[in-house]
Amino acid sequence: MSAFLGHTRSLKHLVNALSNLESYGVAFISLRDNLDLSTPSGRLMFQIIGAMSEFEKSLIQERVCCGLKNARAHGKQLGRPRRIVDRDRIVRMKAKGMSLRDISDKLGIGYGTVRMRLAKVS
């Protein structure tokens, strides 16, 4: 059940997904959590667990946002460190017949970075 709850966006989404299953005559029963959604008490427990899961997700999001704001306020640089990439060198290496993968390995940069820099040239 907890794995199922972790893959839904919200309690509303979870309820809708299970409602769709119910419309096809499928009853959701979690043996691991001893939860049977074909009974009123099972549906109540499901709603409580779903609401708690959504609440926990919101708390995590709030803590992450506060942590990012705090880091920015203290001058912390967020994200990947910037790397200077010599686009002309990439173009020359490609002109010599090197593959994008070989260029990225040789320069120590990502394949996508090489591809993006070459796309800006054409």
111 within domain boundaries: yes
Model pLDDT, residue 121 = 67
Residue 24 in any domain: the answer is: yes
Domain that holds residue 14: 2-73
68 shares its domain with 8: yes
DSSP labels for the chain? -HHHHHT-SSHHHHHHHHHHHHHTTPPPEETTTTEETTSHHHHHHHHHHHHHHHHHHHHHHHHHHHHHHHHHHTTPPPSSPP----HHHHHHHHHTT--HHHHHHHHT--HHHHHHHHHHH-
Q: What is the pLDDT of residues 70-118, one digit of tens each?
A: 999 999 999 878 878 889 999 999 999 999 999 999 999 999 999 999 8
Q: With respect to residue 78, please indicate whether it lies within any of the assigned structural domains.
A: no
pLDDT digit string, tens, across residues 26-79: 888 888 888 888 889 988 988 888 888 889 989 999 999 999 999 999 999 998
Within this chain, do residues 66 and 100 fall inside the same structural domain, yes or no?
no
Q: What is the pLDDT of residue 60?
A: 96
